[in-house]
Amino acid sequence: QVQLQQWGAGLLKPSETLSLTCAVYGGSLSHFYWTWIRQPPGKGLEWIGEISHSGSTSYNPSLKSRVTISVDTSREHLSLNVSSVTAADTAVYYCARQTTVTTPHTSYILDLWGQGTTVAVSS
Amino acid sequence: EIVLTQSPGTLSLSPGERATLSCRASQSFRTSYLAWYQHKPGQAPRLLIYGASSRATGIPDRFSGSASGTDFTLTISRLEPEDCAVYYCQQSGRSPTTFGQGTKVEIK
């Protein structure tokens, strides 16, 4: 059974860089898109961006200048970096697999999620 | 970007009652790119509905989705205690992918 396992630093100071890793166990990065999503305390879900197994990326314009998503296919890992963090970046961060479904019509679904990583930014 | 507005913010119902959750999009997009997720505290979100009306694998048939233009509805026909959660609609038809702000379902 495919599982996603996340890890990374949970406490950061303002201006530092957030770095998270998501590992795919029991499966492969190939043939899927992979996304990062976050949930600030008391708020809803926010899409950060996505990457294909070949490294093609798309980012949320609101975060684009500070975000980098990358993949390491040799280790079946994907990574998220967010530079110059502030308190507004405090959130639970999730990695998720995006699968393309073709029946009855083409749909994109987030069908596999990591367990979530809580990141707090505080001086 | 497409803004998804969910209503109501909170729904408080008794077990066995019917829950109707609404999601309205600010722009049109292909309805096959609308999904619903259930999110419980301390857990990752779970896919319920994709393509506006198709149930994901393992989702009970009391969950159903429908679409009419830019209006989308998630219906829980007979609430069970384990349905207590926040429900999000999500569109991936136009970048960036966006989520609604969520509807919290409380069980009395």
Label each residue of B9-78 as H, E or C: CEEEECCCCCEEEEEEECCCCCHHHEEEEEECCCCCCEEEEECCCEECCCCCCCEEEEEECCEEEEEECC
Q: A18-62, pLDDT tens digit by residue?
A: 999 999 999 998 889 999 999 999 999 999 999 998 899 999 999
Of B50, B51, B88, the CB nearest to A45: B88
Distances (CA, A) of A56 to A53, A66, A75, A108: 8, 17, 18, 16
Q: B14-70, pLDDT tens digit by residue?
A: 999 999 999 999 999 999 999 999 999 999 999 999 999 999 999 999 999 999 999
Closest of A1, A5, A10, A8 to residue A96, by C-alpha: A5
Among all residues of chain B, which has the CA nearest to that of A116?
A: B44
> Rounded distance, CA A72 to CA A29, Å?
9
Does residue A86 contact residue A20 with C-beta atoms inside 8 Å? no
Among all residues of chain A, which has the CA nearest to that of B99?
A: A45
**Chain B interface includes A105 (CB < 8 A):** yes
Residue B97: DSSP 8-state: P
**Chain B interface includes A22 (CB < 8 A):** no
**Chain B interface includes A99 (CB < 8 A):** no
Collapsing DSSP states into helix, strand and coil, what is residue B108? coil
φ, ψ at A94 (rounded to 5°): -120, 140
Mutate to test the interface with B, among A93, A97, A110 (most CBs of B within 10 A): A110
Q: Which two three-digit tokens encode residue B100?
A: 């609604």
List % helix, strand, coil for chain A (3-state, nearest 5): 0, 55, 40
Q: Which residues in chain B have their CB less than 8 angstroms from residue A104's CB?
A: 32, 51, 54
Question: Would you say residue A104 has pLDDT above 90?
Answer: no
Q: How confident is the model at residue B76, as a pLDDT?
A: 98
Collapsing DSSP states into helix, strand and coil, what is residue B83? helix
**Do the chains contact at A46 and B99, CB–CB below 8 Å?**
yes
**Do the chains contact at B33 and A107, CB–CB below 8 Å?**
yes
As beta bridge partners, residue B61 has: none
Contacts of A67 (CB under 8 A, 6+ apart): A48, A49, A59, A60, A80, A81, A82, A83
As beta bridge partners, residue B9 has: none
Q: How confident is the model at residue A6, as a pLDDT?
A: 97
Q: How confident is the model at residue A53, as a pLDDT?
A: 86
Place of tokens 């996340």: A6
